[in-house]
Amino acid sequence: MPITVVGAGYVGLVTGACLAGIGHRVTVVDRDEGRIAGLRAGRMPIYEEGLAELVGDEVAMGRLSFATALAAAVAEAAAVFICVGTPPRPSDGHADMGQVMAAAGTIAPHLAAGTVVVVKSTVPVGTGDEVEALVRTLTTTQDVAVVSNPEFLREGVAIADFMRPDRIVVGTDDGRAAAVMAAIYRPLTERGAPLLVTDRRAAELIKYAANSFLALKITYINEIANLCEEIGADVGDVARGIGLDPRIGAQFLKAGPGFGGSCFPKDMLALMKTGQDHGVPLRSVETAVAVNDARKGEMVRKIVRAAGGSVAGRRIAVLGLTFKAGTDDMRSAASLVILPQLQKQGARITAFDPAGMAEAAPLLPGVAMAESAMAALAGADLAVVLTEWPEFAALDLAAAARAMRSPVLVDLRNLLDPEVAARAGFHYRSVGRAA
Ligand code: UGA
């Protein structure tokens, strides 16, 4: 099926490449000429495991192409996917719909009869109605359907998430549009992916409700971790014990420095605003946001305690800067709050991250970037594991302890085994367990 994807950002590129991967003929359109020229030359504007290879293969097979001109690509498409950004508005935290509405306005005059407009960007409930109203005023055909089709892609494993989804959500009450969407996703539903067709508003809400629920789980286990530290229990055992109940589930129960990333914080803020606007405040979500914000300060206090009460004049080695492993994304990373607070208390910081240092350097003034984990650790008074990169779990801990001035290790991801760390000579502290 001929499909046009508007927006060559993270979601647009992954969606475009994967739709090509399941057999469709896809054009990804972006007004950023430099970005499109780069993509044509095989340069990815973002880091995502497997994406460059998939794009290369699909371009070579003639199923994926890139363009800056929207008109022709839209006129030929059976469906146009809007995959543009919806950042929070600085003024009030509401998701900014500027790019979505601009995209809708630009494609509308070129739509052929029967083309389905698919909103994949994460948009507040009711946006589909606004997009449809705008498209109807600008289009020449009356045969228009606007569908909500939220994405559930995790950075780092986005291609696998697309190809083997837990569910595909399609929000529309237009039967013909639902049939087009079912045909687009048939290669995935044939392999067992459930397709859930709902009304448009429910589909829009599903995205926010899912992300907020996952963030609630993380916030909950982080508070249980605090309690574990006080009563002398291991939060890993508690998480396993509750996670075996299928009503709870084992995932998203890893205690850590609090959730970050480009989605959870932004989407929770937007959902909170929607709730407040409708006179239905979502108190659990509001509380989770506040608890998660406070968590960064708790982590700073934990580090200061491990340093013996003060970090003034101490050299701290920070391993990991990105908001999670497997990405170079620094958006709402815990490091952006924790490191400046430590600096303010007089710490000198040397950091290493396997993928995120180029992104991180301008955001973390005064933080020295090291060539390797070992180089960051050399001569340090204290080390902090902030992101759960597998290469930190594989470190030669005995060598690491020897390289430091004093072998103190604060593991905010529970990445290491406390006994192994102690045997290597570390004074070791983690979250939600005795050590
Ligand atoms: C998240 C969702 O998981 C995706 O389903 C969704 O599509 C995406 O947002 C989005 O809205 O686009 P992502 O932001 O890539 O994906 O990251 P996650 O893997 O969900 O992690 C989010 C944060 O929670 C990270 O800071 C991570 O370190 C933290 N986390 C996650 C924990 O602290 N503990 C856990 O057990 C899991």
Domain boundaries, the chain: 2-198, 208-289, 296-430
Distance from Cα 81 to the centre of ligand 1, integer Å: 23
Distance from Cα 431 to the centre of ligand 1, integer Å: 19
Q: Whose CA is nearest to atom 28 of ligand 1?
A: 324
CA atoms within 13 A on the CB side of 6: 28
Residue with tokens 């494609």: 107
CATH H-level superfamily of 296-430: NAD(P)-binding Rossmann-like Domain (3.40.50.720)
Q: Which of 83, 226, 259 is the best mutation target for the ligand 1 pocket, counting ligand atoms within 8 Å of the beta carbon and taking the most?
A: 259
State the CB neighbour count (10 A cutoff) for residue 297.
Answer: 12
Closest ligand 1 atom, residue 325 Cα: 28
Closest ligand 1 atom, residue 156 Cα: 15
Please tell me if the CB atom of residue 295 comes closer than 6 angstroms to any atom of ligand 1.
Answer: no
Domain 208-289 has CATH 1.10.1040.10: yes
Q: Whose CA is nearest to atom 3 of ligand 1?
A: 154
Note the pLDDT of residue 304.
98
Token couple for 25: 């003929």
CATH (one of 3.40.47.10, 2.60.120.580, 3.40.1010.20, 3.40.50.720) for 2-198: 3.40.50.720
Closest ligand 1 atom, residue 251 Cα: 36
> Given this chain, do its domains 2-198 and 208-289 carry the same CATH topology?
no
Please tell me if the CB atom of residue 162 comes closer than 6 angstroms to any atom of ligand 1.
Answer: no
Q: Which of 168, 214, 322, 389 is the best mutation target for the ligand 1 pocket, counting ligand atoms within 8 Å of the beta carbon and taking the most?
A: 214
Interface pTM, i.e. ipTM: 0.97
DSSP string, 336-368: HHHHHHHHHTT-EEEEE-TTTHHHHGGGSTTPE
Please tell me if the CB atom of residue 9 comes closer than 6 angstroms to any atom of ligand 1.
Answer: no
- Which of these, 169, 163, 182, lies nearest to 21 by C-alpha position? 163
CA-derived radius of gyration, the chain: 24
Query: Does residue 18 have an active-site annotation?
Result: no
Q: Is the dihedral of CA 391, 394, 397, 399 positive or negative?
A: negative
Residue with tokens 């690491």: 400
Q: Which of 251, 324, 386, 389 is the best mutation target for the ligand 1 pocket, counting ligand atoms within 8 Å of the beta carbon and taking the most?
A: 324
Note the pLDDT of residue 211.
97
Residues 6+ apart with CB under 8 A from 235: 221, 224, 225, 228, 255, 414, 431, 432, 433
Q: Is the dihedral of CA 80, 158, 214, 94 positive or negative?
A: negative
Note the pLDDT of residue 143.
87
Using a 10 angstrom Cβ sphere, with 0-12 exposed, 13-18 middle and 19 or more buried, the burial of residue 304 is: buried
> CA separation (Å) from 172 to 77, 117, 148, 293?
19, 11, 7, 36
Each of the 435 residues of the chain gets a pLDDT tens digit; together they read: 999 999 999 999 999 999 999 999 999 999 999 999 999 999 999 889 999 999 999 999 999 999 999 999 999 999 999 999 988 888 877 889 999 999 999 999 999 999 999 999 999 999 999 999 999 999 988 788 999 999 999 999 999 999 999 999 999 999 999 999 999 999 999 999 999 999 999 999 999 999 999 999 999 999 999 999 999 999 999 999 999 999 999 999 999 999 999 899 999 999 999 999 999 999 999 999 999 999 999 999 999 999 999 999 999 999 999 999 999 999 999 999 999 999 999 999 999 999 999 999 999 999 999 999 999 999 999 999 999 999 999 999 999 999 999 999 999 999 999 999 999 999 999 999 986
